[in-house]
């Protein structure tokens, strides 16, 4: 775990480039630092591996102040992919990757094996590429080598400063996917800097949005999308962002929380009264079961009551029993498909315990979609 505690950085004549920054980065997570040019992202990264020292405050790794580590030792255990690739042009690809294992005096055989292993990992064959020079590789290939080199010493922490920003969108996406695949196996602690909000939301377990050397919001991509802390965050991520990433919307985001239950033996007259009092158009018919689990027997929408002449009929006589429930974390697209395929108007939403926590209705879906739709001038 990396903990940045109240860190301030002043350069000569420039104060508070980093301004009382607090950030905790858990093991095995990818944390993305994002923010406008000059907001202090690179400066923050460089303080983590002590390329520069904070003016005040402290950085701890696993509870130990990094000042207590030998600088060289610290850097060997922190891989660093710098802004603008940073391969040595006069060394071959093989030599570039072998640099750090050599520095730490691994023997030649072990180093060679490691270089081969890493090149395989990043999908560039040793036989074809090891003897070439960086200038003979495409930008994307060079970036892959940069990543391989950062992994060479098998560090626990990797700092990646805009590693993919110079690449075309297709190569960039490929490398993002490769990084995520690698991370699935390696579980490194990664601090990743980018300008690009799509990249941040795709790569990051958590995203720290910075402004003027401080963190404005630190949250999961989902949290930031759904609950932007203020206008700055909202403008930065773009107001129509949720519309572009609808898979972030879950059943619990589109449900009506005002869900009203009724017993199976209650009459239609009871039901009409309850609907009026509780201002709902649907009742969930439940069996009395020990909390928290709810056993749902059926649904009664207001349309089912209309035109029924016998007011003594019970809920169990008129309820719709071929309904489907959904889990609160099911994504909106899945829920909508299910509703359409089964011609459902109402979908009860359950939590992990099987408790009823809400109900999805046409209106609740419509409300959310209207909320997240980009505002267009053209109508
Ligand atoms: N060595 C230095 N001396 C004085 N000022 C510096 C120095 N290095 C950086 N700065 C200033 O500190 C601020 C933050 O720089 P930093 O490189 O951390 O920004 P950044 O967020 O990484 O920006 P970018 O997205 O453009 O890479 C900038 O205003 C920059 O001009
Ligand atoms: Mg930078």
Give the pLDDT of residue 265.
92
pLDDT over threshold 60, residue 378 = no
Give, as residue ranges, everything with CB less than 5 Å from ion ligand 2: 42
16 C-alpha vs ligand 1 centroid, how far in Å?
11
Confirm or reject: Cβ of 13 under 6 Å from ligand 1: no
8 C-alpha vs ligand 1 centroid, how far in Å?
13
194 C-alpha vs ligand 2 centroid, how far in Å?
8
Give the pLDDT of residue 58.
97
195 C-alpha vs ligand 1 centroid, how far in Å?
14
Residue identifier of the C-alpha nearest atom 27 of ligand 1: 37
Convert the pLDDT of each residue in 167-203 to its tens digit: 778 878 888 998 898 899 889 999 999 988 989 999 9
pLDDT above 70: percentage of residues in the chain:
94
The domain spans of the chain are: 2-245, 251-370
pLDDT over threshold 60, residue 374 = no
Give the pLDDT of residue 296.
93
pLDDT over threshold 60, residue 375 = no
Average pLDDT, the chain: 88
pLDDT over threshold 90, residue 213 = yes
Q: Which atom of ligand 1 is nearest to the CA of 39?
A: 21
242 C-alpha vs ligand 1 centroid, how far in Å?
31
Confirm or reject: Cβ of 88 under 6 Å from ligand 1: no
Give the pLDDT of residue 85.
65
Convert the pLDDT of each residue in 235-294 to its tens digit: 998 866 776 677 778 899 899 998 999 999 999 999 999 999 999 999 999 997 667 678
pLDDT over threshold 80, residue 311 = no
pLDDT over threshold 80, residue 147 = yes
- Signed CA dihedral, 141, 142, 148, 152: sign only: positive
Q: Which of 227, 300, 303, 218 is nearest to 267 (CA)?
A: 300
Give the pLDDT of residue 158.
93
Tell me the ligand closest to 208's alpha carbon.
1
41 C-alpha vs ligand 1 centroid, how far in Å?
8
Q: Which atom of ligand 1 is nearest to the CA of 42?
A: 22
Tell me the average pLDDT across 30-58: 95
Q: What homologous superfamily does CATH list for 251-370?
A: CBS-domain (3.10.580.10)
Residue identifier of the C-alpha nearest atom 22 of ligand 1: 42
Query: Structure tokens of 272?
Result: 């009409």
Give the pLDDT of residue 211.
95
Confirm or reject: Cβ of 40 under 6 Å from ligand 1: yes
Residue identifier of the C-alpha nearest atom 5 of ligand 1: 11
pLDDT above 90: percentage of residues in the chain:
52
pTM of the model: 0.74
Q: Name the burial class of residue 12, with classes exposed (0-12), middle (13-18) and buried (19+) by CB atoms within 10 angstroms of its CB.
A: exposed
DSSP letter string, 104-129: TT--HHHHHHHHHHHHHHTT--HHHH
57 C-alpha vs ligand 1 centroid, how far in Å?
19
CATH C-level class of 2-245: alpha beta
Residue identifier of the C-alpha nearest atom 31 of ligand 1: 38
Asked if 206 contacts 219 with a C-beta cutoff of 8 angstroms, the reply is yes
Confirm or reject: Cβ of 39 under 6 Å from ligand 1: yes
Give the pLDDT of residue 376.
56
């Amino acid at each position: 775990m990396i903990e940045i505690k109240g860190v301030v950085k002043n350069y000569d004549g420039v104060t508070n480039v980093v301004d009382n920054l607090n950030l905790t980065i858990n093991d095995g997570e990818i944390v993305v630092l994002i923010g406008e040019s000059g907001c202090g992202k690179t400066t923050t990264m460089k303080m983590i591996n002590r390329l520069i020292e904070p003016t005040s405050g402290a950085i701890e790794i696993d509870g130990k102040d990094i000042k207590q580590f030998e600088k060289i030792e610290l850097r060997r255990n922190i891989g660093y992919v710098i802004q603008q690739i940073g391969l040595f042009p006069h060394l071959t690809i093989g030599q570039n990757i072998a640099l750090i294992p050599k520095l730490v005096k691994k023997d030649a055989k072990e180093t060679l094996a490691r270089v081969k292993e890493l090149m395989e990992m990043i999908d560039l064959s040793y036989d074809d590429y090891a003897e070439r020079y960086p200038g003979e590789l495409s930008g994307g290939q060079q970036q892959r080598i940069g990543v391989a080199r950062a992994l060479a010493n098998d560090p626990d922490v990797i700092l990646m400063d805009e590693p993919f920003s110079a690449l075309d969108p297709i190569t960039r996406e490929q490398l993002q996917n490769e990084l995520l695949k690698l991370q699935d196996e390696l579980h490194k602690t990664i601090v990743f800097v980018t300008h690009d909000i799509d990249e941040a939301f795709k790569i990051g377990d958590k995203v720290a949005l910075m402004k003027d050397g401080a963190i404005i919001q630190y949250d999961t991509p989902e949290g930031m999308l759904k609950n932007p802390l203020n206008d700055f965050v909202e403008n930065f991520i773009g107001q129509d962002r949720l519309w572009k990433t609808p898979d972030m919307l879950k059943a619990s985001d589109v449900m009506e929380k005002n869900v009203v239950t009724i017993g199976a033996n209650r009459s239609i007259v009871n039901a009409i009264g309850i609907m009026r009092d509780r201002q709902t158009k649907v009742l969930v018919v439940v069996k009395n079961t020990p909390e928290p689990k709810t056993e749902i027997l059926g649904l009664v929408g207001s349309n089912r009551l209309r035109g029924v002449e016998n007011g003594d009929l019970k809920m169990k006589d008129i309820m719709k029993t071929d309904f489907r429930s959904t889990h609160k974390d099911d994504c909106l697209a899945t829920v909508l498909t299910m509703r359409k395929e089964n011609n459902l108007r109402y979908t009860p939403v359950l939590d992990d315990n099987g408790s009823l926590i809400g109900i999805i209705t046409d209106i609740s879906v419509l409300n959310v979609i209207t909320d997240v739709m980009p505002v267009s001038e053209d109508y």
